Amino acid sequence: MPAYVHINLRVTDPAKQAALAPRFQAALHDAGGKIVHFGPVVQVLEGDDTPLPLAGIFEFPTLAEATAFYNSEKYMPIKLERMQAQEARMFIVETN
């Protein structure tokens, strides 16, 4: 079953964000993931919480592969840089 990593973020350091983006994309691809969407939040339909301005959706073949990518040695240094370049909320959903 496919799994989707959702991220809602605000870039806090554009230079760091720009430097890590190509490495993130390569690591994601190497782990079997793909970018389904990355861009601005266009409209809030429901809820009181204001989302951060950007949203991303990354698809993996399985929940195990999504989790393995997030915890991988290859992604770890990228994740640490991402945390310095962004404020983010991230979660995984799995389709049935």
Greatest C-alpha distance within the chain = 39
Classify domain 3-41+52-94 by CATH number.
3.30.70.100
Query: Any idea where the domains of the chain sit in the sequence?
Result: 3-41+52-94
Exposed (0-12), middle (13-18) or buried (19+): which is 38, by Cβ within 10 Å?
Answer: middle
**pLDDT tens by residue, the chain, 96 residues:** 999 999 999 999 999 999 999 999 999 999 999 999 999 999 999 998 899 999 999 999 999 999 999 999 999 999 999 999 999 999 999 987
